[in-house]
Amino acid sequence: MSENILTILIFSPLVALALVLLLPVKSKKAFPWISLVITGIQLLIACSIILQSGDTIQTGVNVESQFQLIEKHPWLQLSMGTLGNFSINYFVGMDGLNSSMMLLTSIILFIAAISAFEIKTKTKGFHALFLLLNTSINGCFLALDFFLFYLFFEFMLLPMYFLIGIWGGARREYASIKFFIYTLAGSVLILIVMIGLYTSVIDPAATAVKTGLAQNIESVSDAQVNQIQEMLLNGTLPSEEYVRTFDMISMMDAKNYIPNSVFFKGNINSFFGENARLIAFLLLIIGLAIKLPAVPVHTWLPDAHVEAPTCISVVLAGILLKIGGYGILRIPYSIFPEGAIHFAWWLGLGGLIAIVYAAFVALGTHNLKKMIAYSSISHMGFVLLGIASLTAEGINGAIYQMFSHGIISGMLFLVAGVLYYRTKDLEIEHYKGISSKMPIYSALVTIAFFASLGLPGFSGFIAELFVFLGAFQSHEVNNLLPAWMAITATLGLILGAAYYLWTLQRMFLGNFWSRNESKILSDVTSRELVMLIPLAVISLVLGIFPKLLLDLFEPSVAYFVDFIQETGKQNLEIIFQANN
């Protein structure tokens, strides 16, 4: 396999983008095909990466050598006088935490590219933005340098803003700016921590080169790294020699923190009476929770979903939300593990509230897409609950839920899109007995609904089962989440069944009636089947053979949980000692 395979995966859409820009506006037919072909190639690449690595997906997390397909090239070396030097690397790699997300991204983008054939206006612009979005999503999942992650994370907003704002529904302008400002607020919080982190952390290898201990980065040995870290702790390393870094792996090692910098773990300085590291954890969590989204910062999501065109809804629900969940594992948990323990109860509560509250709201909505949007929030609550439990089961469940929800929500928005494409109306009360007019469609909707409400045999069941196992065990294993949280969360399942079944009954069963009688309700076309069937099959297969997916991340998660528990506890002790 080529060494630069991840770079190819991330940046191949840009090549296609160049092609899109070169073609004249008139060649309308070509644009969707370009997107389709390039996402198809990406899907093949992603599958081949997963297949070839097979059982050997490495644990990764905080050990650089345990990542796969690493590419690390110096990008920027800035020397800012007495502010010191800092280095930004182009650093991508794959481990158990992001391999499944990479696969999910490719699948969903491919499906979305098929769905994008429905876009008939300004196709050139649409596909140009779609390809830009594609690059930034892939980049975001694979980046291991904080700057790079932030770059992709924030750059994603711009194409999304235009995709919703230009091709969306009636209230698209409001929805798109709301989406932009909400998510930007999140990324500003992340930016604050990023500035704090890079001024606190050095890259020992690069510093070794700078001090002249080693010739170049490749030749730096572990002993030299240790030597630098010791010098740093003793204060014998002059500050002009510091090479500050955005490298996330370096940030996960407490030895790389400059003594008495803000995020140095023995630092007793506090902000507003809290330890700086714990505050940083909170800021990151809030920033990413907006993306997830968690209650009460979720309100952008229903608006964005209702207004976005179908294929963008699919991308939004299928992948973008997962960046929140994945980001929580990769950044705040890995870099500030003590926060994971300290705030576990609150995170669990946040998850619980999202599960129950969003399910209640979904029960009361009148718009099919809005209902699906709220069900998404509810399901992402399970991710937060699973992560908060900090048990192997819980986090496995969370990642499984992210994947499964990606597939299922993609399906749900597609079925909503099928109806919308025909009638431009998604009010639940405006239909009755659709099944008599569109039998195949109704069957697919039923499958999607049942998969989403967690029927055994579908992937959602496995995911939620794992999350519940984790959440229940938590009070025995690590005493982080009380049992009542897990018990109350089951309410989400019951409510889920309620709103899905009720909608099914209201819209699809009984005698046919529709408020817009003039519109012809024809059954699904073969193109729509091509999108829906594979997703249904994936959900079914993963519901029956969970091992297929679990194998990708189980070893990583096991290692991750141990790492967080261990370092988290140590750091918490240091913090509380310092405070006393």
Partner 1 sequence: MKEQINDILLSAGKLIPELWLLVLATFVLLFSIFTQDKKQLFNTVLSLAGLAIHLYLLYIQPKETGKLFLGNLEMYSQTVFFKVVFTFSAIFSISLSFFGKRNNNIKSGEYLSLLLFLLLGLHFMSMSANFLMLYLSIEIVSFSSYMLTYFNYDKRSVEGSMKYLLFGAFSTALMLYGISLIYGFTNSLEFEAIGKITQLAGTEIGLLACGLLFIGLLFKLAAFPFQGWAPDAYEAAPTPFVAFLSIAPKAGAIFIFCVLWEKSGLSSSKESILNYLVAAVAMLSILFGNLSAVWQNSSKRLLAYSSIAHTGFILIPIFGISNGSMPSLQFYIFIFLFMNFAAFSWVYFLEQKFGSDQISLMKGSAKAQIFPAILILITMISLTGLPITAGFTAKLLIFSTLWQQVQSGNSLMIALFTVGIFNVLIALYYYLKMPYFSFFKTPPITSVPFLLNKKQQLFLSVMVFPLLLFFFKPDWLLAVINYLN
Give whichever of 287 and 397 is closer to partner 1, judged by the CB atom.
287
Q: Are 10 and 92 within 8 A, CB to CB?
A: yes
Give whichever of 21 and 37 is closer to partner 1, judged by the CB atom.
21
Name residues whose C-beta falls within 8 Å of residue 525's C-beta, 6 or more positions apart in sequence. none
Give whichever of 23 and 166 is closer to partner 1, judged by the CB atom.
166
In terms of Cα–Cα distance, which of 530, 330, 313 is closest to 412?
Answer: 313
Name residues whose C-beta falls within 8 Å of residue 329's C-beta, 6 or more positions apart in sequence. 97, 387, 395, 398, 399, 560
Give whichever of 164 and 552 is closer to partner 1, judged by the CB atom.
164
Burial 554-573 (b: 16+ CB within 10 A, else e): bbbbebbbebbbebbeebbe
Does residue number 483 form part of the binding site for partner 1 (CB under 8 A)?
no
Choice from 95, 145, 154, 554 touching partner 1 (CB under 8 A):
154
Closest approach of partner 1 to the CB of residue 286, in Å = 13
Closest approach of partner 1 to the CB of residue 145, in Å = 13
Each residue 191-220 as x (binds partner 1 by CB under 8 A) or -, in order, gives xx--xx-xx---------------------
Give whichever of 135 and 556 is closer to partner 1, judged by the CB atom.
135
Name residues whose C-beta falls within 8 Å of residue 344's C-beta, 6 or more positions apart in sequence. 388, 389, 390, 474, 480, 481
Closest approach of partner 1 to the CB of residue 125, in Å = 8
Return the number of other C-beta atoms located less than 10 Å from residue 481's C-beta. 29
Give whichever of 288 and 462 is closer to partner 1, judged by the CB atom.
288
Which residue in this structure is represented by tokens 């908060």? 388
Q: Are 373 and 302 within 8 A, CB to CB?
A: yes
Choice from 185, 254, 286, 533 touching partner 1 (CB under 8 A):
185
- Contact stretch for partner 1 (CB under 8 A) within 180-188, 365-373, 387-395, 527-535: 180-188
Choice from 117, 155, 360, 421 touching partner 1 (CB under 8 A):
155
Choice from 14, 15, 23, 184 touching partner 1 (CB under 8 A):
184
One-letter amino acid at 218 equals E
Tokens at residue 36, please?
């389709």
Each residue 93-132 as x (binds partner 1 by CB under 8 A) or -, in order, gives --------------------------------x-------
Choice from 8, 15, 63, 177 touching partner 1 (CB under 8 A):
177
Residues 227-266 that bind partner 1 (CB under 8 A): 261-262
Q: What is the dihedral of CA 470, 471, 472, 474, to 10 degrees?
A: 80
Q: Are 515 and 426 within 8 A, CB to CB?
A: no
Does residue number 151 form part of the binding site for partner 1 (CB under 8 A)?
yes
Exposed/middle/buried for 21, CB within 10 Å: 0-12, 13-18, 19+?
exposed
By DSSP bridging, strand 85-94 and strand 243-245 are parallel
- Contact stretch for partner 1 (CB under 8 A) within 267-275, 305-313, 444-452, 480-488: 267-275
Choice from 1, 18, 37, 76 touching partner 1 (CB under 8 A):
76
What are the residues binding partner 1 (CB under 8 A)? Answer: 76-83, 125, 150-151, 154-155, 157-158, 161-162, 165-166, 173, 177, 180-181, 184-185, 188, 191-192, 195-196, 198-199, 261-262, 269-271
